[in-house]
Amino acid sequence: PHELVVELDGEPLVDAVDADARIDRAARLMTVSAGVAEGLDLRGLRVAVAMMLEPKTARLALLLRAAGAEVGVYAHPDETDADVAAALRARGLLVVADTTLSGVAERAAAEGFLRRGWDVLLDDGAHLIRLAHELEPSLVEGWIGACEETTSGLAPLRAMADAGLLRSAVMAVNDARTKTWFDNRYGTAQSCVFAVADLLDVVGRTVRDQPAVVVGYGPVGEGVAAVLRALGADVAVAEVDPVRALRALHDGFEVAPLAERAAGALVVSATGRAGTVPRAIAESSAVVAVAGGVPGEVDDLPGAEPVAPGIDRLPGGALLLGGGGAVNITAAEGNPIEIMDLSFAVQLAALGELLATRPAPGVHAVSATVDDLIARAALAARGVSVDAPDVGVARAADGWRSPRFAHRSGT
């Protein structure tokens, strides 16, 4: 096979032919994750990774093994790069990821992976955490705990905890500032919008000057709206949360109900909730895509006909991108390496906290010290230094009296 090498800021970019080269490139760029992993001692532990399988996830798995863990990787069929899976197997890791599976066979593979027995599960979307709870209590009760990567995964886990159904401690990786502020807003936004633009280019369409509606204005929606606007789209936001809607308005976007702006528009769902885009809305639009996302975020759309890889045409003529799944995963390679370096650094640090604290079942925040550690490491890797905390602020915190009135009391 051929190899195309391009130099960007001194870093060779190798095209998608060679999976090992892509994994090695991720390793060179994921310096923050590597630094956190060096501080972990995972000897004797069995760690499962259930995430989209591409070069960055492969690097995470290899870092876990280098820290002493026995590592297994599971990936859903539509989130698997078969070449990367083969490359990891060749490096001696257990990999359960088969692009040909679906339905009952897919579930059986996931169940078999869980039944191998793990001490810790690093999950994305909480799909395997929930499946383990569904199967039998002993699978979960043997865990030290889990770490969850996403907003859409934490929501059902918190509902389970409120209902008394969550049997495992779960570290809320997604809620760390060095994850959400960067992965969700910048990484997911860039990778999803660029995937949309690439797919539209195949059919001779462009993002520029097109009406677009971003559904949901959380961290992902904020980023998607900003990138679409940067590419020249005419962007509106649909949001059910009045505070987020007000924020979108202050960010300069028109805010309107989805039904008022969807017809003939590029509709990008960024809610992470099933049923966000009803069938009637999808069929009235020009293009529908999901940013991030969960299964069923776009209602089931029978009668879709393939137009090109990653593009289906709905009966009304609208284009559905990425099969209605997370378009940066189903039609691209996920978030940029530098962004996932931060996210996986949080995963690794959260794992360290989980092992050190052994919390009770429930959803637990990652400590603020993790954000500080990761942000400083990321700044240092970019050659950036920051001021030390203001000494005056620290000194003022020692007393409760207002310094404004100190001269009147004689103190």
Least confident of 156-160, 203-207, 259-263, 329-333: 329-333
Task: Spell out the residues 6+ positions from residue 286 whose beta carbon is closer than 8 angstroms to its own.
Answer: 210, 264, 265, 266, 318, 319
Q: Cα(19)–Cα(112) distance, rounded to whole angstroms?
A: 26
pLDDT of residue 302: 83
Beta-strand (E) ranges in 239-350? 254-255, 266-269, 287-290, 305-308, 311-313, 319-321
Amino acid present at 270:
A
Q: Cα(84)–Cα(57) distance, rounded to whole angstroms?
A: 9
Q: Cα(93)–Cα(89) distance, rounded to whole angstroms?
A: 5
Tokens in use for 105? 């066979």
**Over residues 46-54, mean pLDDT:** 97
Q: How far apart are the first and last CA of the chain?
A: 80
> 137 or 34: which carries more pLDDT confidence?
34
Question: Over 80: is that where the pLDDT of 311 sits?
Answer: yes
The fold of 5-175+336-380 is Rossmann fold (3.40.50)
Domain ranges for the chain, please list them. Answer: 5-175+336-380, 186-330
3-state secondary structure at position 119: coil
Domains 5-175+336-380 and 186-330 share a fold: yes
Question: Over 70: is that where the pLDDT of 3 sits?
Answer: no
**Over residues 318-340, mean pLDDT:** 92
pLDDT of residue 17: 66
Question: Over 60: is that where the pLDDT of 1 sits?
Answer: no
Reported as a single tens digit per residue, the pLDDT across 255-309 is 999 999 999 999 999 998 999 999 999 999 999 999 978 888 998 888 889 999 9
59: confidence class by pLDDT, cuts 50, 70, 90: very high
Q: Does domain 186-330 have CATH number 3.40.50.720?
A: yes
